[in-house]
Amino acid sequence: MRGERRVARPPRRPKGSRGAPLPLLLPAVLGLAFLLVPLIALLLRAPWRGLPEQLTGPGVWEALRLSLICATAATGLSLVLGVPLAWLLARTEFPGRGLVRALVTLPLVLPPVVGGVALLLALGRNGVVGRWLDAWFGITLPFTTAGVVLAETFVAMPFLVISVEGTLRAADPRYEEAATTLGASRFTAFRRVTLPLIGPGIAAGAVLAWARALGEFGATITFAGNFPGRTQTMPLAVYLALQNDPAAAIALSLVLLAVSIAVLAGLRDRWMRAT
């Protein structure tokens, strides 16, 4: 998705002869409608009159606050771990690199619930690694806010890695090489030259990861459970409210929708101005 940035712009085509051909236009409009109508339905069916009441309940802000904190923490963790990982994939050669790259992107296609189960088996109290965490440090991750952050990171980090790796591949490695020939260590070159160069790519990846983390449901409820104020994020609150109180679920959904739109609007100017 990135990467086009540094490629020379293709020569401008002569302004298209007429409008779009019908066989393209028709499905395109249908596609647009398919994506937008459900969101419009959400707005139409929203219990506007009862909304202030629905949204001022303490549970809502608790869930929203937790969602924002956890998504931000997950993004931070993704940056700390993901940027170096992306660099490794883009800039070094090692046996099995292709396989590693495929594995990194696995959580993108894995059903989140499966991710949650896998986390439970790895980091749970009785898990492969979690058992030792518990025995040595007395740390248990399931049912904790830290567990939510880990579940979200697991699902969101691949978005960041892919985005940053793409930017790195498009960035000219000769700047780094020049820096190293001038005596900088590879790490210094990375820190002083590469990092500023790929800044926009990292930012875009971070926003993608943040948005993905904010919407995370399956892995979170599977690994971290659901406890108000501790592990109950907005998507969980929406799902459970839907069981008995659809109006509340719609109200909560509206909040998430508003937050998502705000993010995209904020994004538009800096990173979304495609081509």
Closer CB to other proteins, 89 or 248, in the complex: 248
Which residues within the stretch 157-196 sit at the binding site for other proteins (CB under 8 A)? none
CB of 120 to other proteins, least distance (A): 6
CB of 248 to other proteins, least distance (A): 10
Concatenated DSSP letters of 4-35 = GGGSPPPPPPPP-SSS--HHHHHHHHHHHHHH
CB of 47 to other proteins, least distance (A): 17
CA distance to 17, 43, 165, 168, per residue, from 9 (Å) = 21, 40, 21, 19
246's tokens: 């659809």
Please report whether residue 17 would count as binding other proteins according to CB under 8 A. no
Please report whether residue 124 would count as binding other proteins according to CB under 8 A. yes
With tokens 């490794």, the residue in question is 88
**Helix orientation angle between 58-91 and 246-270, rounded to the nearest 10 degrees:** 40
Closer CB to other proteins, 142 or 205, in the complex: 142
> For the chain, where are the alpha helices, taking DSSP H only?
22-45, 51-56, 58-91, 97-109, 112-123, 130-132, 145-170, 174-181, 186-189, 195-197, 199-215, 218-223, 234-244, 246-270
Q: From 49-57, 118-126, 186-194, 208-216, give the range in contact with other proteins by CB under 8 A.
A: 118-126
Per CB under 8 A, the list member of 5, 91, 101, 125 interacting with other proteins is: 125
CB of 70 to other proteins, least distance (A): 15
CB of 15 to other proteins, least distance (A): 19
Residues 156, 62, 43, CA angle at the centre, nearest 5°?
75
Q: From 38-46, 47-55, 121-129, 156-164, give the range in contact with other proteins by CB under 8 A.
A: 121-129
Which residues within the stretch 212-251 sit at the binding site for other proteins (CB under 8 A)? 221-222, 224-228, 231-232, 236, 239-245
Concatenated DSSP letters of 20-74 = --HHHHHHHHHHHHHHHHHHHHHHHHS-TTTHHHHHHSHHHHHHHHHHHHHHHHH
Q: Residues in contact with other proteins, total (CB under 8 A)?
A: 27
Please report whether residue 44 would count as binding other proteins according to CB under 8 A. no
Q: How far apart are CA 2 and CA 85, in angstroms?
A: 17
Residues 44, 48, 49, CA angle at the centre, nearest 5°?
140
Closer CB to other proteins, 28 or 261, in the complex: 28
What track of x and - describes contact with other proteins for positions 75 through 114 (by CB under 8 A)?
----------------------------------------
Residue 156 · residue 205 · CB < 8 Å:
no
CB of 251 to other proteins, least distance (A): 15
Binding site for other proteins (CB under 8 A): 21-23, 120-121, 124-126, 142-143, 221-222, 224-228, 231-232, 236, 239-245
